[in-house]
Structures are given as structure tokens and as C-alpha cells.
Structure 1
């Protein structure tokens, strides 16, 4: 899996899970940098890209399809996460980061 077909949503989910494990002083930095990495992954996606993976019993899993509209939505979701990530740490609730990243991706 190269950066050109890495799903930005996978990065956001991984950042949310990783934010549970890091200390509070690193959490804010992680929640600021993680969505920017996801934004970088979204910017490398080209419209027309289809990423697939062989799955169970010969079924092919299509986990990434990029068209112009989905590319714009990926940019919007990554920007929302970049703004909301550092802001959510002000609540002090450790699980807030876990809820933010996937919620932004699937909104």
C-alpha cells in the first residue's frame, strides 16, 4: 500500500486509536499532525483511482474509489479533523479523540 492509495479515513481512525495511548501533552500534537497527514494522503489521490484487496472466497474488497466529489469531501473531512482535533483536547475527556476521528471520517 503506497501513499497514493492510502485511505485518509484509515489514518484518521489510527490517529484516534493512538490518541488513547499517548500522554495528554502529546495527544494535542498528535491530533493536530494526524489530520494533516491524512490531508496529505487525500491530496495525493487522483480521481479515477480504485484500490482493491482480495478478500474471502474470491471476493474483491473495494476500499477506495476516488472521484471528484469524494475527493472534495475527503478534503473537507480532513480539514474538519485538523480544526477539531486540538480543540477537543480542551475537554479533558480521554475518549473524545477516539470519537472525533472516525466521526469526522464517516460524517
Structure 2
């Protein structure tokens, strides 16, 4: 339960990652002898360094859906609202190694 609370404290709302293979190494790398405040600050820094974006982070309409490919979070490029009366927003991500693009779609 304590570890779950810690996970909630170190993740910004725009990330909300539930993948233990990504988060556990971060948790394990933070020294247990640090104060709670310093542990949270270090955790936030490490999570933000892993979930990269070009200019700004995604503003999700619904919950965060950050894509992870081959055990690594993709880089967020930008988001775009659909034209006209459409209620969709598209979130564009890419793999920095392959430049392959992934698009996440959410509805308002």
C-alpha cells in the first residue's frame, strides 16, 4: 500500500503509468534512507526524465494513455483536435530510435 501511494506521488497526472517493468526500477533506484520529501522529488525527476515530450506534455481529455513500446515510453510530439464538429483529439507520439509514429485517439 505504501509503495502504491509513493507511485501516485511521483507521477504527474499526464503520465499515470501502471507498468511495473518501468516503474519498479525507478523505485528501486531511490535510496531508502532519504527523507520522504527527497524521495518523492527524486522519483518525480526520474519519471519525468523517462516520459519525454518535445514542447509540452499531453493534455488528455480522458485518462492518460501514454504508449509504451518495447518496454520504453514513446516521446510525445503534439496533439490536435479534429476539425468541424468532431469530438476527437489525436495525440502524436514517436519512437526516437525508429521515428515510427503512434497516434492515440480520445473523445471529449
Q: TM-score, normalised by structure 1?
A: 0.28
Greater relative contact order: 1 or 2 (C-alpha under 8 angstroms, separation 6 or more)? 1
Return the structure number with greater helix share: 1
Return the structure number with greater strand share: 2
Structure 1 or 2, whichever has the larger Rg, is: 2
Q: TM-score, normalised by structure 2?
A: 0.27
